[in-house]
């Protein structure tokens, strides 16, 4: 363990029996609440800045990607600017999340649900539901006038949406 780059994590709250089974990345941990007997598999990448609750007895397999915020795609630049919009995620009790799952900002997963391998999860998953991936579907549309105006202004974002001119 001496050769690993390990940073202590300070959660908002953490119950007993947390098992992190390998190397994981968790940012924004001070806004993360974890229940009892939670297991998180290797390779998880969790952005908790927008707020995250994980209920008791939830088991998460390898390679989870979970975001609790998103860039502002209707902001000052294209494709987005540096402003972040918080969208908390809540995972209920007794949830089983399979390998290679992506959980998008604002998702709520009900108690006892099962999320199948490779699923991209958005919105509300009812308690006890078993869900899996389906073909892609359009979930919204950008504001065409806003897009056209930013494109006309050549208001494009650089790294993390920041201004290309440094301003």
Q: Domain containing 31: what range?
A: 13-161
Q: Given a cut of 60, is residue 3 above it in pLDDT? A: no
pLDDT at position 49, please?
Answer: 98
Across the chain, where does the E strand assignment appear? 13-14, 19-21, 25-27, 32-34, 39-41, 45-47, 52-54, 59-60, 65-67, 69-71, 84-86, 89-91, 96-97, 102-103, 108-109, 114-115, 120-121, 124-125, 130-131
pLDDT at position 29, please?
Answer: 96
156: pLDDT confidence band, cut at 50, 70 and 90? confident
Give per-residue pLDDT as tens, 29-56: 999 999 999 999 999 999 999 999 999 9
Tell me, yes or no, whether 1 lies in a domain.
no
**Mean pLDDT, the chain, integer:** 91
132: CATH: 2.160.10.10
Predicted TM-score (pTM) of this structure: 0.83
Q: Given a cut of 60, is residue 71 above it in pLDDT? A: yes
Q: Given a cut of 60, is residue 1 above it in pLDDT? A: no
Q: Please compute the mean of the pLDDT values over residues 71-89 and round it to a whole number.
A: 93
Q: Please compute the mean of the pLDDT values over residues 146-167 and round it to a whole number.
A: 83
Tell me, yes or no, whether 4 lies in a domain.
no
Number of domains present in the structure of the chain: 1
Tell me, yes or no, whether 55 lies in a domain.
yes
Tell me, yes or no, whether 3 lies in a domain.
no
Count Cβ atoms within 10 A of the Cβ of residue 35 and give its class: 0-12 exposed, 13-18 middle, 19 or more buried.
Answer: buried
């Amino acid at each position: 363990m001496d050769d690993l780059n390990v940073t202590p994590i300070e959660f908002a709250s953490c119950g007993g029996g947390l098992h992190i089974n390998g190397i994981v990345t968790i940012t924004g941990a001070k806004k993360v609440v974890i229940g009892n007997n939670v297991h998180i598999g290797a390779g998880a990448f969790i952005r908790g800045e927008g707020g995250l609750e994980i209920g008791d007895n939830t088991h998460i397999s390898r390679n989870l990607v979970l975001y609790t915020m998103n860039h502002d795609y209707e902001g000052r630049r294209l494709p987005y600017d540096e402003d972040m919009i918080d969208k908390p995620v809540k995972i209920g009790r007794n949830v089983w999340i399979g390998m290679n799952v992506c959980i998008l900002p604002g998702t709520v997963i009900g108690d006892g649900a099962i999320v199948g391998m490779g699923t991209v999860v958005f919105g509300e998953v009812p308690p006890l539901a078993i869900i899996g991936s389906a073909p892609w579907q359009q979930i919204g549309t950008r504001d065409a006038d806003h897009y056209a105006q930013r494109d006309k202004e050549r208001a494009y974002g650089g790294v993390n949406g920041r201004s290309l001119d440094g301003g």
